[in-house]
């Protein structure tokens, strides 16, 4: 793909997912554009076993953009990194098509594995700001990872994950008991647990009050006898 065709393709991706862009020329101002462009070149060098030069280019791009993509990662088409400073993509990461990453996302390893040690993201996955996906497992297609989540295990397709550690709270857009870019309207499992405990506490207090009243009534009856 030529440079002009690449610009047009990236511009289409950015226009589709970032309402702030007003012109195609603005794509040249996006740090993610230059980071992904550098990755594409570095990845080609990496596959040809030019490891030093591949890493040199990726580290140069990381210093300039704040986005660190290891040249060994395998990335599909349509990756969009919005406000990408602090994004880290590890060596054995595999990313499908039309994936969106936000600021501070880490696709890393857990430090204990060899070989494939970074996550695999399916297509149409969104990983919100500050989320950490650590380990060699798969995030299924059409899944969303909530902001600040720490994901340490496999996620089924079509799921929404929130929390630390991350857990599935929706699957196929249906809330799980105990494919858009919406980072806000995600379930809060901690809040749900607190609300449930508050209801149980209120119910116990009501039952305790009823038992105390019964005991008082019984005491009055005994006195009258």
> Domain segments of the chain: what residues?
3-187, 188-225
The pLDDT assigned to 54 comes to 95
The answer to whether the CB of 130 falls within 8 A of the CB of 148 is yes
The pLDDT assigned to 150 comes to 92
The pLDDT assigned to 106 comes to 95
The pLDDT assigned to 170 comes to 66
Q: Which residues in the chain show pLDDT less than 50?
A: 176-179, 181
The pLDDT assigned to 19 comes to 78
The pLDDT assigned to 179 comes to 43
The pLDDT assigned to 9 comes to 81
The answer to whether the CB of 76 falls within 8 A of the CB of 13 is no
Does an H or E element contain 65, and which?
A: helix 51-65
The answer to whether the CB of 116 falls within 8 A of the CB of 92 is yes
The pLDDT assigned to 191 comes to 66
Partner residues linked to 94 by β-bridges: 74, 120
Q: Give the Cα separation of 140 and 161 in Å (integer).
A: 11
Q: Evaluate the CA torsion angle 191, 195, 197, 198 in order and state its sign.
A: positive
Q: Is CATH 3.40.190.10 correct for 3-187? A: no
Q: Give the Cα separation of 185 and 155 in Å (integer).
A: 19
The answer to whether the CB of 63 falls within 8 A of the CB of 30 is no
The answer to whether the CB of 171 falls within 8 A of the CB of 156 is yes
């Amino acid at each position: 793909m030529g440079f002009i065709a690449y610009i047009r393709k990236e511009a289409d991706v950015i226009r589709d997912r970032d309402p702030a862009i007003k012109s195609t020329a603005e794509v040249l101002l996006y740090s993610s554009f230059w980071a992904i462009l550098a990755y594409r070149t570095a990845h080609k060098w990496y596959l040809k076993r030019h490891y030093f030069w591949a890493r040199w280019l990726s580290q140069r791009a990381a210093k300039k953009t704040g986005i660190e993509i290891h040249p060994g990662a395998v990335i599909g088409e349509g990756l969009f990194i919005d406000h990408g400073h602090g994004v880290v993509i590890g060596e054995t990461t595999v990313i499908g098509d039309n994936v969106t990453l936000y600021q501070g996302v880490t696709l890393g390893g857990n430090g204990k594995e060899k070989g494939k040690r970074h996550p695999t993201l399916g297509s149409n996955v969104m990983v919100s700001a500050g989320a950490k996906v650590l380990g060699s497992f798969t995030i299924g297609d059409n899944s969303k990872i909530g902001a600040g989540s720490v994901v340490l295990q496999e996620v089924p397709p079509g799921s929404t994950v929130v929390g630390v550690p991350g857990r599935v709270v929706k699957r196929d857009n249906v809330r799980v008991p105990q494919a858009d870019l919406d980072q806000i309207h995600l379930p809060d499992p901690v809040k749900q647990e607190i609300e449930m405990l508050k209801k149980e506490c209120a119910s116990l207090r009501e039952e305790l009050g009823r038992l105390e009243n019964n005991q008082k009534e019984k005491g009055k009856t005994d006195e009258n006898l």
